[in-house]
Amino acid sequence: MQKTNQATLPQPRDPFQTLFHRLFGDAVPEFYGAVESTGAPRTNIAEHETAYELSFELPGLDEKDIQVHMQDHTLTVTAERKDERETSGKRWHRVEHRYGQFARTIALPQDASGNGIEAVYQKGVLVVTVPKVPESRPTKIQVRGN
């Protein structure tokens, strides 16, 4: 008797959920499991008074395998995990580690600065700190006479 993988069987569709996903699926991808299905790293985003802090779960990678780019207030983190498993003499029963290239793109607010961005990778977590543009304040200009 041949085993079937239950995860590959089609699931019944709820018309309301399908409509809701079409309308809001991109806005809240985690709600629909898009992070797991695309392999995009889980991400936490925090705002401080002077910066935004984004942390990405990227376990098992080397710094050289991670790239961070910011363009037009959009931060993109890409990484690649190479499949270096030894296959000679082994029969794998389960492989759940993700391999290959994956990315996460986050649109940042207009006050995010492209200057002074820091990215630190430690213990499988990449923390990207994006400074905010200093608030525009009126400058008093001294008026002098001749």
Are the C-beta atoms of 41 and 128 separated by less than 8 Å?
Answer: no
Residue 5's pLDDT is what? 44
- Cα–Cα dist 31/33, whole Å: 6
Q: In what order do the strands lie in the sheet with 66-71?
A: 66-71, 74-81, 100-107
- Per residue in 93-104, pLDDT tens? 888 888 889 899
* Three-state secondary structure call for residue 77: strand
Residue 45's pLDDT is what? 95
CA atoms within 13 A on the CB side of 6: 0
Q: Which domain holds residue 69?
A: 41-83+99-131
Are the C-beta atoms of 106 and 54 separated by less than 8 Å?
Answer: yes
| Positions of the chain with pLDDT lower than 70, given as ranges | 1-38, 136-138
Is residue 65 domain-resident? yes
| Structural domains counted in the chain | 1
Is residue 17 domain-resident? no
Residue 146's pLDDT is what? 80
Which residues have CB under 8 Å from 49's CB, separation 6+?
132
Residue 17's pLDDT is what? 55
Is residue 106 domain-resident? yes
- Helix ranges (H only) for 1-146 are 15-24, 34-38
Instruction: Give residue for tokens 């935004």.
Output: 52
Compute the CA torsion angle 51, 57, 61, 67 (nearest 10 deg). -40
Residue 92's pLDDT is what? 82
Residue 26's pLDDT is what? 46
Is residue 70 domain-resident? yes
- Cα–Cα dist 131/47, whole Å: 10
Residue 83's pLDDT is what? 83
| Predicted model pTM | 0.65
Which residues have CB under 8 Å from 29's CB, separation 6+?
35, 38, 40
User: In this structure, what CATH number is given to the domain that contains residue 50?
Assistant: 2.60.40.790
